[in-house]
Structure 1
Amino acid sequence: MHHPIFSYSKNLSIYIAVCLGIILIHVGVGHGFYNLPLKVAVADALVFDMLMAFIALSIWYPIYYTNANKSLINILFQHILAAAFLLAIWLMLALQIVKWVVSADMYAMVYQQSNIIQRIVVGSLFIATYFLVFLAMKYYGDVQEKAHQHEAMLRQLREAELKALKAQINPHFLFNGLNSISALTVTDAEAARDMIHKLSDFMRYALKKNEQTLLLFSDELDNMKRYLDIEKIRFGDRLQCEFTINDATTKMQIPVLLLQPLVENAIKHGVYESIETVTIAISSEVEDGKLHIVIQNNFDPDGTPQKGEGVGLRNISNRIRVLYGDEASFETHRTENTFRVSLVIPQHINKTL
């Protein structure tokens, strides 16, 4: 537990400046208004105000260690008791020290009963002010701590959700790849072996990069091309690919394994459902400092629809929401014979989520 005045040099500087200001005001009032000799006015101000500044620092501790589970009446009673104790200590010590500093005649003339009552009132106001200031500091510190804890919790939840989403994607593709290899072993053993090697390269990349949140768009493109090479072994000339990539986008960042499920979705609902050639067109641009990606494919409107619940698309939408909040976008658009996915990826993760 650290005292807020000593924990930050700025707070300590402000505290010292305020105390010096109070001392100067005290000297001016004593010498100018009450006509005290300057020496007595300075001694009076230094003793009473410096002692108050020192004793008031201890007010932080009863505030910090207050049991929040107690009733408001009990808390107020404890604070009033602590304030009364500090006020009594301050007044007795200050009067005793001043008595040693000034002459006996001056002491008897200045520190009369009415003067003592005024000092008790002023001292009470000072201590009440210190209590309010330290209560505000305690409240602000608690709010800041809860905000940090909330941010840390959200970050942990975000990381856990991202891991769960990526864990759902990898097995989904792996099962499809293994089924394809199983089919190829009967019709084309050489193609099956080639597919095994390419699938191994793809999964090695996926496992190696899986712990990363972001990577270069160029790396993700290379990985997607590995995936397309695997699928071309199955579909041959029925699957065509077109890339229109702006060079400026290759060094931008993108969530790892984001594109493969989108291409997989295009193949599933394009190539699977059509006996004609299906072209998957992938393009990228930079707009307003954000990465814009479009993946589009044609499909046969008369083909037999593939069963599926859109897990891949939901995963992508969820991952983008978790990472970027409202700063990113994920949109799909379907026409009579084309399906398009549009992504907008900011170049920073939303830390406030």
Structure 2
Amino acid sequence: MSFNCNKTNYPLKDWIKRSLVFSICIVSILAIDVMYKDQSVFWWNILVAFLCFFGIIVFNLVLHIQFKVKDPIKSPVYVKVLSFLSTLGICALTICVTSRLGVMTIEERRILDSSTFGFLLLLFVRAAILNFIVQLWLYFVMNDYFRNQLELERSKLDKLNERAINQMLRQQVQPHFLFNALSSLKSLIKKDSTMAESYLLQLSDYLRASFTTSEDGLATVKQELQLCEDYLNMQKIRFNDAISYTIHVSESVLQDNLPIFSLQPLVDNALKHNQYTVEHPLRIEVLHQDGWIIVRNNVCPRKTSHEDNNNYGLNNLKERFSYYLKESVLIHDHGTSFEVHVKIIKL
């Protein structure tokens, strides 16, 4: 599976500033070699060489950004060809400028006057060398940036996963949840011992799954559905006919993946933000459609709610998904119904 970066920002200004310093360093090395040869054209040659080299770097930066290239070494062939042709063109323009200004070096003038082929060969060799140096520089500056970005994204994901898991555990093991669960269990023991045993097993499985973690932050669709169903079953026992739910997910996707704790919070949100009675029950659907898991519920907002309504949970889920896939969480509020679509991750 390839990981996509959802926000590709190319810091062109920063790269140009660093390239400017690099160009000055390269031209300074050239200056040391020629400064004692011909003082009359020394500064012109240095200026033209600097503009040529810096121009090649800037043009290549823009070229790679235009084609969304992150690694110049692994860039497509057509980008490499365009890069070389642009370098060749800038080198040819540089020679024309130095010739018009009358500051061309003696060696260049001799080659130009003696043989057109030799001049073209010199032009191609110079362009190839400069292009090679520039590609190495771009690889260094761009690879360094995107490597740091990847590390930041991984660090951010780790924090998000840790925060999401901790938040989920707090929600599920918080006192009022356990109090309600144990109260329901106590009532069931008196009324129906068989149902009480089933409820206890579901509660045990649910709590065990709540404390389960994975190194990559992923769980199978089957695990997520099981956690979701255990939670719904407990709520169903508690609220009876005030809640109904259906789960229709193809077996073909059960071994695919979702970020851990991605479905249960969606069901929990439906319970938190809606009121439901036997006359007006809350209907929750979990289904699979075209590579997406859809969690849908009818809407009957609570008149007064002390719950967090700032979509923090949904935004958190979007950020966690964004590390694996682009556009992986879609929210649709139809007024009478509310849907959240989460993209299935195929490894």
Counterpart of 1:266 in structure 2 is 270
The answer to whether structure 1 residue 281 and structure 2 residue 284 are counterparts is: yes
Q: Of 307, 323, 341, which residue of structure 1 is paired with 2:339?
A: 341
Counterpart of 2:147 in structure 1 is 148
Counterpart of 1:138 in structure 2 is 136
Q: Structure 1's 323 and 118: CA in aligned 2 closer, same or farther, altered over 3 A?
A: closer
Separation in 1 of the partners of 2:215 and 2:189? Answer: 34
Counterpart of 1:205 in structure 2 is 209
The answer to whether structure 1 residue 164 and structure 2 residue 163 are counterparts is: yes
Q: Which structure has more RCO (C-alpha within 8 Å, separation ≥ 6)?
A: 2
Separation in 1 of the partners of 2:185 and 2:288? Answer: 41
Kept in 2: contact 1:195–1:230 (CA 8 A): yes
Q: Of 217, 220, 241, which residue of structure 2 is paired with 1:216?
A: 220
Separation in 2 of the partners of 1:121 and 1:137? Answer: 30
What secondary structure sits across from 2:284 in the alignment? strand
Q: Structure 1's 213 and 246: CA in aligned 2 closer, same or farther, altered over 3 A?
A: same
CA deviation after TM superposition for structure 1 residue 274, in Å: 2.9
Instruction: Output the amino acid matched with 1:81.
Output: I
Instruction: Output the amino acid matched with 2:139.
Output: G
Q: Structure 1's 153 and 226: CA in aligned 2 closer, same or farther, altered over 3 A?
A: same
Separation in 2 of the partners of 1:204 and 1:319? Answer: 22
Instruction: Output the amino acid matched with 2:240.
Output: G
Counterpart of 2:327 in structure 1 is 326
Percent identity over paired residues: 20
Given the two structures, how large is their TM-score scaled by the length of structure 2? 0.56
The answer to whether structure 1 residue 315 and structure 2 residue 266 are counterparts is: no
The answer for unaligned runs of 5 or more in structure 2 is 1-17, 37-105, 112-117
Separation in 1 of the partners of 2:239 and 2:128? Answer: 78
CA deviation after TM superposition for structure 1 residue 265, in Å: 1.9
Separation in 2 of the partners of 1:218 and 1:73? Answer: 59
Counterpart of 1:181 in structure 2 is 181
CA deviation after TM superposition for structure 1 residue 174, in Å: 2.1
CA deviation after TM superposition for structure 1 residue 196, in Å: 5.6
Q: Of 17, 21, 28, which residue of structure 2 is paired with 1:77?
A: 28
Instruction: Output the amino acid matched with 1:79.
Output: L
Write the deviation string for residues 295-332 of structure 1: whole angstroms up to 9, x where unpaired. Answer: 22464x6x644321234444334433454332542333
> Larger Cα Rg: Structure 1 or Structure 2?
1
Kept in 2: contact 1:166–1:210 (CA 8 A): no
What secondary structure sits across from 1:258 in the alignment? coil
Kept in 1: contact 2:219–2:260 (CA 8 A): yes
Separation in 1 of the partners of 2:315 and 2:135? Answer: 45
Write the deviation string for residues 40-59 of structure 1: whole angstroms up to 9, x where unpaired. Answer: xxxxxxxxxxxxxxxxxxxx
Kept in 1: contact 2:189–2:196 (CA 8 A): yes
Counterpart of 2:78 in structure 1 is none
Moved more, 219-228 or 310-319: 310-319
The answer for unaligned runs of 5 or more in structure 1 is 1-66, 86-116
Separation in 1 of the partners of 2:305 and 2:327? Answer: 31
What secondary structure sits across from 2:325 in the alignment? helix
Separation in 2 of the partners of 1:188 and 1:325? Answer: 46
Instruction: Output the amino acid matched with 2:272.
Output: K
Separation in 2 of the partners of 1:179 and 1:314? Answer: 29
CA deviation after TM superposition for structure 1 residue 118, in Å: 5.3
Counterpart of 1:255 in structure 2 is 259
Counterparts of residues 52-91 of structure 1 (less than 5 Å):
75-81=26-32
Runs of 4+ in 1 over 4 A off after TM superposition: 67-75, 82-85, 117-131, 182-197
- State the Cα RMSD in Å: 4.0
Write the deviation string for residues 116-158 of structure 1: whole angstroms up to 9, x where unpaired. Answer: x759966996885575234213222212333233233323323
CA deviation after TM superposition for structure 1 residue 257, in Å: 1.3
Separation in 2 of the partners of 1:80 and 1:130? Answer: 21
Q: Structure 1's 83 and 151: CA in aligned 2 closer, same or farther, altered over 3 A?
A: farther
CA deviation after TM superposition for structure 1 residue 167, in Å: 2.2
Kept in 1: contact 2:324–2:345 (CA 8 A): no
CA deviation after TM superposition for structure 1 residue 345, in Å: 0.6
Instruction: Output the amino acid matched with 1:172.
Output: Q
Separation in 1 of the partners of 2:110 and 2:148? Answer: 42
Kept in 1: contact 2:172–2:210 (CA 8 A): no
Q: Structure 1's 174 and 68: CA in aligned 2 closer, same or farther, altered over 3 A?
A: same
Q: Structure 1's 209 and 163: CA in aligned 2 closer, same or farther, altered over 3 A?
A: same
Separation in 2 of the partners of 1:162 and 1:193? Answer: 33
